[in-house]
């Protein structure tokens, strides 16, 4: 049965894929956007959607009551958006508080709309941990939380501030569900690195989101990016899980790691590109071709695949599809 779903962050890398997955399944989408210009870009690429794609301008994710109009009449919410971070100079006001306020505002708006049955929230592996090194004996599940305290996060000028912002914005949502017992439930999805082709509007390489820019850089012959984790997921699988989570009763009030059972390295990415594309042999850095992946912790993405009934795409498939698109994109510029 089709529903009207509010999608925040609809013009971003993940959000645009979520919009397409919803439309493909026959749902109506209300896209929360920062400006109508962004909405028009989204609509131009989705003329087939017709009246099933509408827009709600929400200029500031952190403004009190900012989502109240956007949620009216929707059956569910997929919350992909997060405040844009511009500075680590003042981590609490610049990052942590805006992230918490974004969660607070979408939840308070949902509480005023009796039709809302479920909120799907995009979280991050940063909420789980990755602070204990790459010990291969570690296996993370959706029950794990990173150990950083609020006080530690608010004085950090590095990645710890980001980890704190993601942790405490998600915890706000779970605390609300526990304490208020609202008429809707919650599902949070926890991806690591997200790769794959893009379907949102991008005019130049500098506008690519960071994970797709990593693929672009490797395929363009740049130095390999810094490897922060071996965990990844295809953006199309992540979008599928966002939409499937709306309708699965067994997903209610649960967290899920959405992560491929395969691990990756940028060396492996380069190897795939050099093997699959003739033009790449003279462009992509050879590096230590065929090098084994380093020992690393693992993540439980298998539970998610079982609950939502799908099989993760392979790393090769993901990178070939992304590079095919990116090569054509580069040649048009």
Segment 250-260, tens digit of pLDDT: 999 999 999 99
Residue range 142-171: mean pLDDT, rounded: 93
Is the confidence at residue 332, as pLDDT, over 90? Answer: no
Sorted by sequence, the CB contacts under 8 Å of residue 112 that are 6+ apart come out as 68, 71
**pLDDT for position 251:** 98
pLDDT the model gives residue 52: 96
Query: What local confidence, expressed as pLDDT, does residue 207 receive?
Result: 87
Model confidence at 204, pLDDT cuts 50, 70, 90, reads confident
> Which residue bears the tokens 């012959």?
221
Q: Is the pLDDT of residue 86 over 60?
A: no
- Only one residue has tokens 């962004």, namely 38
Bigger pLDDT: 86 vs 45: 45
The arithmetic mean of pLDDT across residues 241-247, rounded, is 97
Residues 6+ apart with CB under 8 A from 150: 96, 164, 168
Residue 84 binned pLDDT confidence (cut-offs 50, 70, 90): low
The C-alpha angle with vertex 78 and arms to 69 and 178, in degrees rounded to 5, equals 90
Yes or no: say if 53 and 10 are a contact pair by the CB < 8 Å rule. Answer: no
Query: Dmax over Cα atoms in the chain, in whole Å?
Result: 60
Looking at the predicted structure, is the pLDDT value of residue 63 above 90?
no
Q: Give the pLDDT of residue 67.
A: 95
Mean pLDDT on 220-232 = 96
Cβ(40)–Cβ(17) below 8 Å: no
* pLDDT at residue number 39: 85
Q: How do residues 284-324 score in pLDDT, each as one tens digit? A: 999 999 999 999 999 999 999 999 999 999 999 999 999 99
Going from N- to C-terminal start, the domains of the chain cover 4-198+230-260+301-309
Mean pLDDT of the chain: 94
Question: Is residue 332 exposed (0-12), middle (13-18) or buried (19+ Cβ within 10 Å)?
Answer: exposed
Q: What is the pLDDT of residue 294?
A: 95
187, two tokens = 């599902």
pLDDT at position 148: 94
Bridge partners of 185?
118
What pairs with residue 8 in β-bridges? Answer: 32, 79
| Kind plus residue range of the DSSP H or E element containing 302 | helix 302-308
φ and ψ at 5, to 5 degrees? -120, 130
Using 50, 70 and 90 to split pLDDT, how confident is the model at 283?
Answer: very high
CATH topology of domain 4-198+230-260+301-309: Rossmann fold (3.40.50)
In this prediction, residues 160-188 reach a mean pLDDT of 96
Q: Among 146, 143, 142, which Cα is nearest to 132's?
A: 146
| Closest by CA position to 269, among listed 235, 238, 224, 301 | 224
Question: In this predicted structure, which of 36-45, 191-200, 272-281 has the lowest mean pLDDT?
Answer: 36-45
- pLDDT of res. 85: 63
Check whether 83 has a pLDDT greater than 90: no
Whole-model pTM: value is 0.96
Q: Is 292 exposed, middle or buried (0-12, 13-18, 19+ CB in 10 A)?
A: exposed
């Amino acid at each position: 049965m089709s529903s009207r779903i509010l999608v925040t962050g609809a013009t971003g890398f993940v959000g645009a894929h979520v919009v397409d997955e919803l439309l493909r399944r026959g749902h109506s989408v209300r896209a929360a956007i920062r400006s109508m210009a962004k909405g028009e870009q989204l609509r131009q690429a989705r003329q087939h959607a017709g009246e099933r794609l509408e827009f709600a301008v929400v200029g500031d994710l952190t403004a009190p009551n900012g989502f109240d109009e956007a949620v009216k009449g929707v059956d569910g919410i997929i919350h992909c958006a997060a405040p844009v971070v511009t500075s680590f100079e003042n981590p609490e006001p610049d990052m942590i508080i805006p992230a918490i306020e974004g969660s607070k505002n979408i939840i308070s708006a949902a509480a005023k709309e009796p039709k809302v049955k479920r909120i799907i929230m995009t979280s991050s592996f940063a909420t789980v941990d990755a602070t204990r090194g790459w010990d291969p004996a570690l296996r993370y599940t959706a029950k794990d939380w990173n150990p950083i305290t609020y006080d530690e996060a608010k004085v950090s000028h590095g990645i710890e501030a980001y980890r704190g912002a993601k942790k405490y914005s998600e915890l706000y949502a779970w605390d609300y569900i526990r304490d208020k017992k609202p008429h809707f439930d919650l599902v949070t999805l926890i991806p690591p690195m997200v790769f794959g082709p893009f379907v949102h509007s991008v005019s130049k390489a500098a506008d690519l989101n960071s994970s797709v820019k990593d693929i672009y850089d490797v395929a363009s012959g740049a130095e390999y990016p810094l490897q922060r984790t071996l965990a990844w997921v295809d953006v199309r699988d992540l979008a599928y899980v966002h939409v499937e989570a709306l309708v699965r009763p067994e997903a209610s009030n649960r967290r899920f790691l959405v992560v491929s059972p395969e691990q990756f390295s940028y060396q492996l990415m380069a190897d795939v590109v050099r093997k699959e594309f003739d033009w790449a042999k003279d462009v992509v850095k050879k590096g230590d071709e065929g090098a084994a992946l380093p020992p690393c912790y693992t993540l439980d993405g298998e539970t998610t695949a079982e609950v939502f009934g799908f099989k993760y795409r392979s790393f090769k498939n993901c990178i070939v599809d992304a590079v095919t698109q990116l090569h054509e994109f580069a040649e048009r510029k």
